């Protein structure tokens, strides 16, 4: 498992997340299933592509292979960056296995510094 391409989404017309605040509220609420050892950071202020936004980090787990009864639990660190934009917002989600997260973090930092929104 290596670097995962960042995914983005926009809220314009999105019935699930009508605003950045709704996205954060839903993501930060306890889920129906709470994984033992899962931890979520406090929300922090960030700047992405010169725009102010908010971010949080979640240490959680993925299960590999995903469609198997015999899976292996893999610790993962996910960073969510939420940036208001035009009529909606942009989410940049960076996810990497915990043990290789620091190796891939410079890629994320470069993306956040050079993204033009």
Residue 1 is predicted with a pLDDT of 47
How confident is the model over 68-92, as pLDDT tens digits?
888 899 999 999 999 998 878 899 9
Instruction: Report the chain's mean pLDDT, rounded to a whole number.
Output: 85
Q: Do 8 and 83 touch, CB atoms closer than 8 A?
A: no
- How far is C-alpha 101 from the chain's CA centre? 13
**Distance of alpha carbon 41 from alpha carbon 92, whole angstroms:** 16
How confident is the model over 47-63, as pLDDT tens digits?
998 899 999 999 999 88
Strands 51-64 and 72-85: antiparallel
Domains in the chain: boundaries? 20-29+36-114
Residue 83 is predicted with a pLDDT of 94
Residue 41 is predicted with a pLDDT of 95
| Cα–Cα–Cα angle for 77, 79, 83, rounded to 5 degrees | 175
| Whole-structure pTM value | 0.82
Question: Which is higher by pLDDT, 17 or 99?
Answer: 99
């Amino acid at each position: 498992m290596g670097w995962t391409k960042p995914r983005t989404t926009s809220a314009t017309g999105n019935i699930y997340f009508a605003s950045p605040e709704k996205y954060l509220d839903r993501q930060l609420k306890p889920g129906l299933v709470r994984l033992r050892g899962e931890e979520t950071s406090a929300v922090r202020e960030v700047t992405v592509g010169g725009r102010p936004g908010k971010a949080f980090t979640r240490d959680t787990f993925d299960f590999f292979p995903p469609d198997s009864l015999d899976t292996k639990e893999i610790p993962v660190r996910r960073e969510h960056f939420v940036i208001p934009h035009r009529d909606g917002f942009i989410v940049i989600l960076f996810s990497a296995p915990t043990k290789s997260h620091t190796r891939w973090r410079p890629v994320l930092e470069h993306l956040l510094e050079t993204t033009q929104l």
